[in-house]
Amino acid sequence: MERLLLLGAGGHCKSIIDVIEQEGRFEIVGIIDNELEVGSSILDYKIIGNDDDLANLRKEYKYALIAVGQIKSAVVRKKLFKRLKVLNYTLPVVVSPLAYVSKYTKIDEGTVVMHHALINTDANVGKNCIINTKALIEHDVVVEDHCHISTGAIVNGGVVVKKETFYGSNATSKEYIDVNGFIKAGSVVK
């Protein structure tokens, strides 16, 4: 089993831990966080360092995944993604075994597909995205890099979700449109 570092120790990290444990492909070796004290724990996983330790840790670990959530802005996730790439970490795609992803879908590095998400045929999901619990990505959707499709959100067929978009919980889009920016929870995007 490959060993994996997680970056960020908040609530989203807890959800990602559960997905990784369910998927069973990676052993989580520790969490990197700038706020919590080294040696403290999140769900029995130790904080083993902060962002300044990433270069040294790369000597021992190949895989890392960003476990910081994204609400108003993608700035933190983008910065961490860029740093991990410069340090030559591999950012895996992690998909919950409780999610459905069409075999005709493409998902790029560092993206996490959470429990009960559904990604339909010919969708294309970019780098470093969060497809959160119970989100629906319909056929022919493009989700560009660094986006968060929130819990229960519906992205209808042919939509293009532009890079760094936050698409709020239970938001629903009309089909075949471009979506960009901050989409409030419960919105109907036309």
pLDDT digits (tens, 9 = 90+) for 125-164: 999 999 999 999 999 999 999 999 999 999 999 999 999 9
Confidence of residue 80 (pLDDT cuts 50, 70, 90): very high
pLDDT score of 18: 97
The model's pLDDT over 84-141, given as tens digits with 9 standing for 90+, comes to 999 999 999 999 999 999 999 999 999 999 999 999 999 999 999 999 999 999 999 9
Domains of the chain and any CATH numbers? 2-86 (3.40.50.20), 94-185 (2.160.10.10)
Contacts of 13 (CB under 8 A, 6+ apart): 6, 31, 42, 67, 68
pLDDT score of 16: 97
pLDDT score of 148: 98
The model's pTM: 0.96
Confidence of residue 36 (pLDDT cuts 50, 70, 90): confident
pLDDT score of 26: 98
Question: How would DSSP label each residue in 88-140?
Answer: T-B---EE-TTSEE-TT-EE-TT-EE-TT-EE-TT-EE-TT-EE-TT-EE-TT
Confidence of residue 71 (pLDDT cuts 50, 70, 90): confident
Q: Which amino acid would we find at residue 86?
A: V
CB 2 within 8 A of CB 24: no
Q: Is 56 helix (H, G, I), strand (E, B) or coil?
A: helix
Residue 167 has pLDDT above 90, yes or no: yes
For the chain, give the mean pLDDT.
Answer: 97
pLDDT score of 72: 82
Residue 180 has pLDDT above 90, yes or no: yes
Report d(CA 24, CA 161) in Å as an integer: 30
